[in-house]
Structure 1
């Protein structure tokens, strides 16, 4: 015969430290000083589990037995009391459990790992475009794989890269939600891919100007406008837009520009400063830009901050050409391959690409600066060859 109700209310405060069985899976874990924890042991589908039922003396013996009885009934019905408790907790927090709220909280938790703290909210952009308009106000626990697949159908077909980024973001959101007590199934992200089917491979590259057309275009840029000067320096150096926009005089020493690591592409903590040789034309452009300096920025916007992210793209659109500022990096790299005999690793270094293999990188610690100098000087001479 099974024995239960072994414990007495008056003895709970004096029990020795450790677990004491009341029967039928209910245990009192004495912690000393008249305190303890109620625990329930159960077996479901052949696996043993333990779950807490509350602390003593806040929860008395009678209440603990009632909670244990409810847990036993759940187990008898094939339900896991641990998951049920997690689900109830999440339901009480439903106002903070909408997908939109959890996306924002996840994003905020990741900002320290994102470039510059992601001030423009680039990380969550795919979700704000494709998912939140339809599911933003829905509690995450009410969303299933089919809901996610339906939201992403259009992006999966028309902008596959954006669809991929959306799923990656959702994966982090679901992990965050699970870690904060929401009863979500992280595998829903993988399940959503099944009805979507194979993702079409995106082969789009940034529109670039052919290197043979660069000198003529460069000669059309003036010596006055901030955006024209910024674009000229971008073409001459082969840099991305970000370091151009944030250029400050203290970054330049003589004819060497050291781009700070926060403006070098790469994961936080992995990017390194990048040294760049400056030729006479680049130095002349910087000298022209000094008259525009404001709050330390050589290329400021109208509010004294760094030049707007879209400024150079807008400028090139005004010329009615499809090429984009980033495409000049491709022009430089192609020119090096077709017009010089430069080794690939040096050519890649000219546009800030270095060995990705961690082992090789640990031993080969050069940035090929000395070898890059003559190449960049020749590129500058070529770029200004059509300038009157």
Structure 2
């Protein structure tokens, strides 16, 4: 045994009075007045004297303190800082135990600014929350492989294909997020899982739509003047989605223009400009009639509280024995534009609130074709009101 080492004994460590005691080789014991003690190692690295804590005497025995001191001295002899090396190992250990649910929540938090309404509706996170995290949430992200993903999504791969696709995509983004944090993950795991799962047998179906030539007859049947009837009429006339329409507020109306806030548009973000919809003469008449039902600033309130639901409009169409659904009227309008007008593609798509062209093209195109859309929607209004008794308005 080299001279000057192992000066302390287990008994002296336990019975020593308050103070500092050397065990040799830079290992020291600091005994506190309360009887507790701490181990620390003094060493010099790059000409700088440093002290490294090795734990308390209640957790680390004299023998283990010497082992830790030997390991640290070996690192210092290799011209590395034992403290920085320990911190590096701690970070690597922490990275290796990150579980998927923590990564998923962090990924969701970082993407909120890109999501409609900061993702409060839950549509981004829900596929993960319902179909991935219950099985893989507590698993270290570094251990997740294609077989784990396959086994997790196999139950819904063919029966709920769209949900499974979203869950797979979200999981892929979580793995990329983990990699960006410096974690070791298999970024190809989701692609490999898709290969294992195979092509889905599920065939997506379009929302049933009423042929545009049949829209006037249905429009004429909406003659009760109720909130549901009036909401469906305005939905047909404007080509808007039901969400913005159901939450239509008086403050959004300025003359014959309805302005939908950008954050209320599907797939849009807070930085997206507001979307203007020109209102036809018929649309203005419907809104004027609906104002009689307005409550708390909303044009289409529900019977109890809040606004009319999308299901309310859909149920009305079900009771009429129709396969078509409210959202399908957007397709009716789009087909009418294609078959009966010479509307340019970008104007027709803008009527439906679709994004047209690439980012560069949109940057240089500053118009929203408001006047062209006004003319077309006026013609559409005339089409759908064929045979409508004016006394019903």
Q: Give the shorter-chain TM-score range.
A: 0.7 to 0.9
Match of 2:163 in 1: 162
Residue 67 of structure 2 is aligned to residue 66 of structure 1: no
Residue 376 of structure 1, CA deviation: 0.5
Residue 221 of structure 1, CA deviation: 1.6
Aligned pairs (5 A) from 1:93-108: 97=99, 99-100=100-101, 102-108=103-109
Q: Which moved more, 1:196-205 or 1:290-299?
A: 196-205
Residue 296 of structure 1, CA deviation: 1.5
Q: Of the two, which has the highest radius of gyration?
A: 2
SS of the counterpart of 1:112? Answer: helix
Match of 2:254 in 1: 253
Aligned pairs (5 A) from 1:1-388: 9=26, 28=45, 56-58=51-53, 63=68, 65-66=70-71, 85=90, 88-89=93-94, 97=99, 99-100=100-101, 102-136=103-137, 138=139, 140=141, 143-177=144-178, 184-198=185-199, 202-302=203-303, 304-388=305-389
Q: Which moved more, 1:304-313 or 1:248-257?
A: 304-313
Residue 244 of structure 1, CA deviation: 0.2
C-alpha distance in structure 1 between counterparts of 2:341 and 2:119, whole Å: 39
C-alpha distance in structure 2 between counterparts of 1:131 and 1:362, whole Å: 38
> Unaligned regions of 5+ residues in structure 2, if any?
1-24, 28-42, 56-64, 76-85
C-alpha distance in structure 1 between counterparts of 2:194 and 2:69, whole Å: 44
SS of the counterpart of 1:239? Answer: coil
Match of 2:10 in 1: none
The verdict on how the C-alpha distance between 1:180 and 1:354 changes in structure 2, with shifts beyond 3 A counting, is closer
* 1:229-257 deviation digits (Å, cap 9, x = unpaired): 21211110001112102211121111111
Task: Indicate if the aligned counterparts of 1:86 and 1:183 stay in contact, CA closer than 8 A.
Answer: no
Residue 59 of structure 1, CA deviation: 5.0
C-alpha distance in structure 1 between counterparts of 2:145 and 2:217, whole Å: 56
Task: Indicate if the aligned counterparts of 1:161 and 1:202 stay in contact, CA closer than 8 A.
Answer: no
**What's the RMSD between the two structures over aligned residues?**
3.7
C-alpha distance in structure 2 between counterparts of 1:84 and 1:195, whole Å: 36
* 1:266-295 deviation digits (Å, cap 9, x = unpaired): 331452212211122211211122122222
C-alpha distance in structure 1 between counterparts of 2:155 and 2:367, whole Å: 45
SS of the counterpart of 1:257? Answer: strand
> Unaligned regions of 5+ residues in structure 1, if any?
1-7, 11-25, 37-55, 71-80
Match of 2:34 in 1: none
Task: Indicate if the aligned counterparts of 1:111 and 1:117 stay in contact, CA closer than 8 A.
Answer: yes
TM-score (normalised: structure 1): 0.73
The verdict on how the C-alpha distance between 1:243 and 1:69 changes in structure 2, with shifts beyond 3 A counting, is same
SS of the counterpart of 2:375? Answer: helix
The verdict on how the C-alpha distance between 1:85 and 1:133 changes in structure 2, with shifts beyond 3 A counting, is same
C-alpha distance in structure 2 between counterparts of 1:175 and 1:329, whole Å: 36
Residue 225 of structure 1, CA deviation: 2.6
* 1:30-84 deviation digits (Å, cap 9, x = unpaired): 7x7x6x5xxxxxxxxxxxxxxxxxxx443599646425869xxxxxxxxxx9997
SS of the counterpart of 1:326? Answer: helix
C-alpha distance in structure 2 between counterparts of 1:295 and 1:250, whole Å: 11
TM-score (normalised: structure 2): 0.72
The verdict on how the C-alpha distance between 1:100 and 1:380 changes in structure 2, with shifts beyond 3 A counting, is same
